């Protein structure tokens, strides 16, 4: 080996240069900051200051920041600022495992926060952990501009549209940010039941006809709301229903469903959030004329379905955010519990302009329990699926005697199709007529029905696992006591179904079907495939100067 006799001298010179504070490559050195007692860098005094720009003659934007409720646990790893004003971030547990368990949960600390907005606002999110370059603000279609200052551990981003956002970091850490129209954050003390800002331990609240519940911004209600055989009920306001104090153990049957309506009509549920429910979140059963708008759900325990619609008619779910640890949006048919001979009817169920994060089970599901012959006119439109980690994004499971007709999945964006983790399956689309030994006989033993007229149109899947399966399968009845007849799937249309880098057709390599499926078509219109089309307000007249409400 050749010896470098000048190497010791070179090392000495290099050491001397750096010891004198010089940088031969002109590479700027990072400034080091001291940390406070919570592990955050102590930044320059004016870093979070707000200064009005006198040259900006556009309308001032208005921001409402709710008052901190100090008895509610705050997130210890994130701080959110609008100028020098801090937005409260409360702690919520999120489940990043993807195998069902009755009680042995694997959860991590995440955050949620709310603000009111009219116009535009720049927010700075400071973290106690390193921010990597793959940090992002979703939904991606909002086009939120962001910058990362990792020297200070601050992510800066501008919001100019109301709605729900998620700031995602490596390791599963997330901030769920609910940006409300500022008018929603104005308190309304009218109604038959008012919950002021603060903490309310209510247990079970039974609602009678003509009840009007208002959850003020900054209110935290520990409890559940139940209505039976009632009508004309409203629950509104930008407060929180918090289920974190309640036990959820599927092996013991301990459960607390925060919103439960049975045999009710003319129901309005809007603007509030359900945090860490101990089971299902919204349970609507044999209801008619239901409007659910701008609700937010973060669930992380067993059977943590988001919005469950059972044997209902004329239901509209709009502008909502659901992060669930079971089906996010699900439609079922059940019999009446008091008389199993009265089977369910499902008709005119519409989900529109919703954002989903599905940690377990399916994102948009019809079934498995489908007791009752009529399940008609069910639609999922303008849906953004941020993540699906477990089972199918698009699914229909007809496990009973329903004739499921006219189901539409239209204008859907799937940002992450990562099905199959944990004990999940790798189906992107899963449509089956089948008898399930787990689900079909739980409530009433029936024959099987059919599935007819299903449309999947303007679907845009951006990323995910390689070659996810598309499964369409009917079956031949083989149980004793039932006619051995074919139970079919027919008239399924894939129109402008874009998967990663191409529009799929019948030659797709992981398309699975059988002889009980007929008249399946794949086509393209030649138009731009947009996926979800989110509402957009023109805020060009609003500048960066702020009014704090």
DSSP string for 287-327: -EEEEEES-EEE--STTB-SEEEES-EEEEEES-EEEEES-
Length of the chain: 549
Instruction: Identify the pLDDT of residue 189.
Output: 75
> Residue 342: which pLDDT band, with cuts at 50, 70 and 90?
very high
pTM of this structure: 0.94
Cβ proximity of 269 and 259 under 8 Å? yes
Residue 233 has which token pair?
Answer: 């009920």
Cα separation, 64 vs 118, in Å, equals: 9
Residue 186 has pLDDT above 50, yes or no: yes
Cα separation, 339 vs 50, in Å, equals: 64
> Residue 15: which pLDDT band, with cuts at 50, 70 and 90?
very low
> Residue 534: which pLDDT band, with cuts at 50, 70 and 90?
confident
Cα separation, 279 vs 257, in Å, equals: 6
Cα separation, 189 vs 201, in Å, equals: 19
Radius of gyration of the chain (CA): 26
Taking CB atoms within 8 Å and a gap of at least 24, the contacts of 103-108 are 103/248, 103/249, 103/250, 103/251, 103/252, 103/302, 105/300, 105/301, 105/302, 107/300, 108/171, 108/172, 108/173
Residue 225, sorted as left (phi over 0), alpha (psi -120 to 50) or beta, turns out to be beta
Share of the chain above pLDDT 90, in %: 92
Specify the DSSP element, H or E, that contains 15.
Answer: helix 7-19
Cα separation, 73 vs 179, in Å, equals: 21
Q: Is 226 exposed, middle or buried (0-12, 13-18, 19+ CB in 10 A)?
A: middle
How many CB atoms are closer than 10 A to CB 425? 13
Cα separation, 112 vs 178, in Å, equals: 8
Q: What is the mean pLDDT of the chain?
A: 94
Residue 106 has pLDDT above 50, yes or no: yes
Residue 4 has pLDDT above 70, yes or no: no
Strands 489-499 and 450-461: parallel
408-416 mean pLDDT:
98
Given CA atoms 166, 257, 235, 354 in this order, what sign does their dihedral have? positive
Residue 17 has pLDDT above 90, yes or no: no
Residue 402 has which token pair?
Answer: 């329903």
Residue 167 has which token pair?
Answer: 């700031």
Q: What is the dihedral of CA 379, 319, 358, 170, to 10 degrees?
A: 150
Q: Is 441 exposed, middle or buried (0-12, 13-18, 19+ CB in 10 A)?
A: middle
Enter the DSSP assignment of 14: H
Helix count (H) and strand count (E) of the chain? 1, 42
Q: What is the largest CA-CA distance in the chain?
A: 96
Cα separation, 37 vs 231, in Å, equals: 53
Cα separation, 363 vs 354, in Å, equals: 11
Residue 314 has which token pair?
Answer: 């004329």
Residue 287 has which token pair?
Answer: 């209801």
Residue 439 has which token pair?
Answer: 């689900």
Instruction: Identify the pLDDT of residue 26.
Output: 52
Cα separation, 119 vs 29, in Å, equals: 38
Nearest to 155 by CA among 98, 235, 78: 78
Report the b/e string of 457-474 with b at 16+ CB within 10 A.
bbbbbbebeeebbbbbbb
Residues 460, 506, 405: CA angle, nearest 5 degrees: 70
> Residue 25: which pLDDT band, with cuts at 50, 70 and 90?
low
Residue 130 has pLDDT above 50, yes or no: yes
Nearest to 279 by CA among 308, 302, 263: 302
Instruction: Identify the pLDDT of residue 5.
Output: 41
Residue 196 has which token pair?
Answer: 């002021």
Domains, in order of start, for the chain: 59-181 (2.60.350.10), 221-523 (2.160.20.10)
Cα separation, 500 vs 347, in Å, equals: 33
């Amino acid at each position: 080996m050749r010896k470098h006799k000048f190497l010791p001298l070179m090392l000495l010179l290099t050491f001397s240069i750096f010891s004198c504070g010089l940088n031969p490559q002109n590479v700027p050195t990072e400034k080091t900051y001291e940390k406070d007692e919570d592990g955050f860098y102590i930044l320059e005094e004016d870093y979070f200051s707000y200064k009005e720009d006198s040259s900006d003659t556009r309308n001032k934007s208005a921001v409402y920041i709710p008052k901190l409720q100090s008895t509610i646990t705050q997130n210890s790893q994130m701080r959110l600022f609008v100028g020098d004003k801090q937005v409260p971030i409360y702690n919520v547990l999120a489940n990043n495992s993807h195998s069902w368990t009755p009680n042995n949960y694997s959860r991590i600390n995440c955050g949620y926060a709310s603000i009111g907005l009219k116009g535009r606002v720049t927010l700075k999110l400071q973290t106690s952990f390193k921010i990597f370059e793959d940090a992002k603000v979703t939904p991606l279609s909002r086009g939120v501009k962001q910058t990362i200052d990792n020297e200070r551990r601050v992510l800066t981003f501008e919001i100019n549209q109301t709605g729900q956002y998620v700031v995602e970091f490596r390791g599963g850490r997330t901030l769920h940010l609910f940006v409300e129209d500022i008018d929603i954050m104005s308190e309304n003390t009218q109604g038959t039941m008012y919950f002021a800002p603060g903490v309310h331990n209510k247990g079970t609240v039974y609602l009678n006809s003509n009840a009007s519940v208002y959850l003020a911004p900054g209110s935290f209600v520990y409890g559940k709301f139940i209505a039976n055989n009632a009508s004309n009920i409203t629950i509104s306001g930008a407060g929180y229903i918090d289920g974190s104090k309640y036990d959820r153990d599927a092996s013991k049957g301990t459960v607390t469903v925060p919103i439960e309506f049975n045999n009710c009509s003319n129901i309005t549920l809007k603007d509030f959030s359900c945090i860490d429910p101990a089971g299902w979140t919204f349970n609507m059963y044999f209801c008619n004329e239901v409007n659910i708008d701008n609700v937010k759900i973060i669930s992380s325990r067993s059977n943590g379905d988001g919005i469950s619609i059972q044997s209902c008619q004329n239901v509209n779910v709009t502008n909502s955010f659901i992060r669930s640890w079971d089906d996010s949006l699900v439609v079922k048919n059940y019999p009446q519990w008091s008389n199993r001979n009265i089977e369910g009817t499902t008709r005119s169920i519409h989900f529109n302009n919703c954002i989903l994060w599905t940690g377990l089970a399916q994102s948009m599901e019809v079934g498995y329990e489908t007791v009752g012959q009529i399940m008609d006119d069910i639609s999922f439109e303008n849906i953004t699926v941020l993540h699906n980690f477990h089972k199918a994004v698009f699914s229909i499971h007809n496990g009973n005697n329903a004739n499921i007709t006219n189901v539409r999945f239209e204008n859907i964006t799937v940002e992450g199709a990562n099905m199959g983790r944990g004990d999940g399956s790798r189906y992107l689309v899963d449509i089956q007529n089948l008898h399930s030994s787990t689900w079909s006989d739980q409530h009433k033993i029936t024959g099987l029905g059919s599935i007819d007229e299903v449309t999947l149109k303007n679907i845009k899947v951006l990323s995910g696992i390689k070659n996810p399966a598309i499964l369409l399968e009917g079956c031949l009845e083989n149980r004793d006591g039932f006619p051995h007849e074919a139970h079919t799937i027919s008239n399924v249309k894939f129109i402008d179904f874009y998967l990663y880098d191409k529009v799929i057709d019948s030659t797709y390599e992981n398309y699975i079907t059988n002889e009980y499926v007929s008249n399946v078509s794949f086509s393209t219109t030649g138009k731009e495939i947009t996926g979800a089309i989110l509402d957009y307000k023109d805020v060009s007249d609003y500048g960066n100067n702020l009014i704090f409400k």
